[in-house]
Amino acid sequence: MFEDCCCSVRCIVPAFESNHGHRACELCASWHSTTLARLGYPLGAKQPGHSAASEPIVAILGVVPADIRDHLFHRVLLADGAMGTMLQGFDLTLDDFEGHEGCNEVLNRSRPDVVAEIHRAYFAAGSDCVETNTFGANHAALNEYGIVDQIAELAEAGARIAREVADEFSTAQRPRFVLGSVGPGTKLPTLGHIEATTLRDAYQTQVEAMIRAGIDAVQIETCQDLQQAKAAVIGAKRARTACGVEDLPIFVSITVETTGSMLLGSEIGAALATLAPLGIDLLGLNCATGPAEMGEHLRYLARHADIGISAMPNAGLPELTADGARYPLQPAELARAMNDYVDECGLALVGGCCGTTPEHIRQLVETIGTQHPVVERDPQVFNAVASLYSDVALKQETSYLAIGERTNANGSKAFREAMLAGKWDECVRIGRDQSRSGAHIVDLCVDYVGRDGADDMRELASRFASAVTLPVMLDSTEPAVIEAGLNHLPGRAIINSVNFEDGDGPDSRFQRVMPLVKEHGAAVVALTIDEQGQARTTEWKVRIAERLIAALSEDWGIDEGDILVDCLTFPIATGQEETRRDGLATIEAIRQLKAAHPRVGTTLGVSNVSFGLNPAARVVLNSVFLDECVKAGLDSAIVSVARIMPTERIPEEQYQTALDLIYDRRTDDYDPLSKFLTLFEGVTAASLREQREAELATLPLAERLARRIVDGNDKGLEADLDEALLTKPALDIINDDLLAGMKTVGELFGSGQMQLPFVLQSAETMKKAVAQLEPHMESSEAGAGKGTLVLATVKGDVH
């Protein structure tokens, strides 16, 4: 027993020493920060976690640990309701606001009694936790009143009021908690209203002040812009580090409008993909709507989020009356709705937002209870990146992840010239065009000799943020360029890339880039390059890949599913002996890597394999090489999707020769490189099309029609259909010939051998064919009724 412990209980659990040398048992340490202050801990310091060692005392004395982390995810925590609408019920004067009418945070200094009274009302109603009156204690909000220099003072005052009231209501059997409220402010960084870094630094100041006053968790809420939300989370994490409380929980709540998306158009999937990798503890919804409108989005989080979920709806959708806005949802209705979501979606934190009162919370507590366990979920989690608008899975189900390469200053002449001329709108147009050509992500590279890459990245990333609907891969090894991009993109990016070219020591690029990757929750491409150079052999590639995966996952905590290893592509048509097996080495490295690390992603810059060949030859070799890599397990590729041809469309001789070249199938009397060069000598893209058309002309008519659908080729389609109509009814042509082609298209797409842009080409050709045949179809039998046709699809289907 430790008789010198500061508590009044004769302790029977191991003790520890505080920073000031006092001894305290774990039971004492689980009490609130005010208790720790008596023990010599700074106010607001985080308590050591509750351990199994203290269970005997808890069981004997009925004492419940007072660290919010000991309750989170075990039982549903019940938060408070509205602060702003409650303040409106008091007869506050302009003097109370110190001349800053509407600035509620000033009341923390001028009328702490009013703020405390509201907190007491919610605790009396049964809340486990209340939010501080600091929603607007940020740069964007206080700057409008000219008191931005008072962020820390007002935030600390608000947190202290809530802390004192919480401690009044806390008992050994039921501790009460304080959530530090962080609001969005009035500026949207994605739209250029304010720099995200300015918000981030102000959020850090706010959260540091609240930590000093003893908050139990940070509640970032009412987020309408993903870039603002990211800035708040990063600022809060920096504050935790500065205060030495790395495990202080961070909760984030976004606002989804009645349109089904956030204010700037972000879907719930984009929010989850962007915010969860930042290391937050809860993600949920608050404000804008009542509980009914939140259902679809909460269910999505329940299905896919591997972190906790929260919900704090308004008391319904506001109704405008002669006396102002009125929130119609009655307390009992709110309680029933939230109880249903607790059971259905496994909510961990529930409360109310605008229009909710202590009575709403009293009935919420009465209905859910104070010991309701958090319902276990089995979410289907997938690694994803996101644009402002939507998320994209890093592993596609039926294909590879296509990363468009046309916004790379080193690979696209058109993009480079537009960038050098400062024609930013043209650069954006090229980025947008890639989505229409079938890319899932755009690769953005501004690195060019003689240019300030960070400035160029700021110009382009800030425009791509809202004008390009696809997620962005930031292609640079320069930390300043990467940081400029990350600070201006609202979604979740991929960083391309890190490697061990200059080792992994303290001054290496690896160690300078990875803090940015980690802080922003980005995915990362890892190149198989080490101190000896670019890996050429299979064994060398795999060895570096293993080293990279270990460093990223073990040292930096990057999830294996967020790592994309690039096994490197080298030209194989140079004629040099040492390059002949480079393609085969890459394919085999991918195969071995996927066998050893199935969750790790793989990627390649495919077009380098055909460097030096003419355009027609490059299309064929790139297409065949990509197909072989995908068969070996390749997950993604940096390509110009429009210049990749389905292998079904490649003439057999060209296809087989390309395979022989890739796998170096030379014999004494056969060199596939020589044959490949001969096949494409003087060949252009136009001549390839003519050759394909000549081959089509030799096929039987029915087979020719099906082939036109598969190829998406409408040249000569009209003449073929006219010929078919001479011997066959229009409906039979559709059912027997055209649908046979569409069936093949479906099979190719399902097996990953045909990409979406080519499927759409086939569909367009089918549409033209049916339009030509429609006038020849017989009318329905007279008097026959029209039946009911039900068409069903799945969410996300292209139809």
pLDDT of 229 reads 98
Q: Can you read off the two tokens belonging to residue 660?
A: 């022989």
Read off the pLDDT band of 46 (50, 70, 90).
Answer: very low
- What distance lies between CA 41 and its chain's CA centroid? 38
* Cα Rg of the chain (Å, integer): 31
Q: For each of the domains in the chain, give its residue range(s) and CATH number, in order of start.
A: 15-61 (no CATH), 68-368 (3.20.20.330), 384-644 (3.20.20.20), 693-776 (1.10.1240.10)
pLDDT of 195 above 80: yes
- 113 contact partners, CB below 8 Å, separation of at least 6: none
pLDDT of 685 reads 67
Q: Can you read off the two tokens belonging to residue 476?
A: 């640079």
pLDDT of 273 reads 98
pLDDT of 799 reads 47
**Cβ contact 158:152 at 8 Å:** no
**Cβ contact 385:493 at 8 Å:** yes
Please, what's the b/e burial string for 205-239 (b: 16 or more CB within 10 A of its CB; e: otherwise)?
bbbbbbbbbbbbbbbbbbbbbbbbbbbbbbbbbbb
Q: 486, 407, 482: which is closest to 442 by C-alpha?
A: 407
Count of Cβ atoms closer than 10 Å to residue 546 Cβ: 15
- Amino acid identity for residue 413 in this structure: K
Q: Can you read off the two tokens belonging to residue 784?
A: 């026959």
Read off the pLDDT band of 65 (50, 70, 90).
Answer: low
Among the residues of 170-294, which ranges form H helices?
A: 196-212, 226-243, 268-275
Give the global pTM: 0.84
Q: Is the dihedral of CA 650, 656, 660, 666 positive or negative?
A: negative
- Amino acid identity for residue 601 in this structure: G
* Dist CA 600 CA 521 (whole Å): 16
pLDDT of 564 reads 99
- Average pLDDT across the chain, whole number: 89
* Dist CA 679 CA 662 (whole Å): 16
* Dist CA 799 CA 786 (whole Å): 23
Instruction: Indicate the SS3 state at residue 56.
Output: helix
**Span between the terminal Cα atoms of the chain, in Å:** 72
pLDDT of 795 reads 65
pLDDT of 644 reads 92
CA triple 796-312-213, angle to 5 deg: 125
